[in-house]
């Protein structure tokens, strides 16, 4: 990475972004006035999408806040209270998580649930459907079950196109100096 003059990120997790951010920041060297030396600044352009939402962002180590500086901006991971799963499920996701987090262990003592095993996934799906019928919750599919268990958010081609275009534009601006870069965050929401 130290050979790159700019890194454009299209990563799928906070952990992976943290890693590349730390790497880019580690290349920084300062002169005797405590100013970052230009040739050691390795800008990052980060793009990400989640369904109909996306962002593009420019991080210039030593100049702008880095990824770690603003990591607290991420919303907490969605988790459901166990009592809701056990007593008052209201959505398909509640039923799926009930089968996944509670019912699986009750029935399969000791066997670890493997999300990549289709038999396991089918079992979760069947249990979730039973529970949904019991509580009158509609809208079940196998792929919804898979998505909820594996935390998969569908990728939308148009969001990806818009965000990748924004990233390409920022990379172009940084490499050519033809214009000022984003200062320093762009969010996109389909409305
Ligand atoms: Zn920082």
Evaluate if residue 155 carries a pLDDT over 90.
no
Whether the CA torsion 175, 181, 184, 187 is positive or negative: it is: negative
pLDDT of res. 165: 98
* pLDDT > 90 fraction of the chain, expressed in percent and rounded: 69
Closest CA to 132 of 176, 170, 96, 169: 96
Residue 47 CA to ligand 1 centre (angstroms): 18
- What's the pTM? 0.71
pLDDT of res. 189: 94
Residue 5 CA to ligand 1 centre (angstroms): 19
Within the chain, residue ranges assigned H as helices are: 14-26, 82-87, 92-97, 104-107, 118-135, 142-150, 157-176
pLDDT of res. 83: 86
pLDDT of res. 152: 75
Residue 63 CA to ligand 1 centre (angstroms): 10
pLDDT of res. 9: 96
How confident is the model over 79-88, as a mean pLDDT? 85
Tens digits of per-residue pLDDT, 96-140? 999 998 999 999 988 989 989 999 999 999 999 999 999 999 888
CA 108 to CA 98: how far, in whole Å?
A: 14
Residue 173 CA to ligand 1 centre (angstroms): 22
CA 167 to CA 188: how far, in whole Å?
A: 12
What's the token pair of residue 182? Answer: 């984003």
Evaluate if residue 7 carries a pLDDT over 80.
yes
Question: Is 69 considered catalytic here?
Answer: no
Whether the CA torsion 14, 82, 144, 158 is positive or negative: it is: negative
Evaluate if residue 76 carries a pLDDT over 80.
no
Identify the active-site residue in 25, 66, 83, 95. Answer: 83
pLDDT of res. 81: 82
CA 22 to CA 122: how far, in whole Å?
A: 40
Structural domains of the chain ordered from first start = 7-76+154-189 (3.40.50.720), 82-150 (1.10.10.520)
């Amino acid at each position: 990475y130290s050979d790159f003059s700019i890194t454009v990120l299209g990563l799928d997790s906070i952990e992976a972004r943290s890693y590349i951010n730390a790497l880019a920041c580690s290349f920084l060297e300062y002169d005797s006035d405590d100013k970052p030396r230009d040739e050691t600044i390795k800008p990052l352009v980060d793009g990400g999408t989640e369904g109909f939402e996306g962002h593009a962002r420019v991080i210039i180590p030593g100049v702008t806040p880095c990824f770690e500086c603003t990591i607290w901006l991420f919303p907490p991971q969605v988790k459901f209270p166990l009592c809701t799963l056990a007593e008052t499920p209201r959505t398909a996701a509640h039923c799926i998580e009930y089968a996944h987090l509670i019912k699986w262990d009750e029935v399969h003592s000791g066997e670890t649930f493997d999300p990549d095993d289709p038999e396991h996934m089918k079992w979760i799906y069947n249990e979730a459907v039973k529970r949904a019928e019991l509580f009158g919750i509609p809208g079940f599919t196998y792929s919804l079950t898979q998505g909820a268990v594996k935390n998969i958010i569908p990728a939308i081609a148009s969001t990806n196109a818009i965000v990748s275009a924004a990233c390409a534009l920022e990379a172009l601006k940084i490499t050519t100096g033809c214009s000022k870069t984003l200062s320093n965050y762009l969010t996109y929401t389909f409305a």
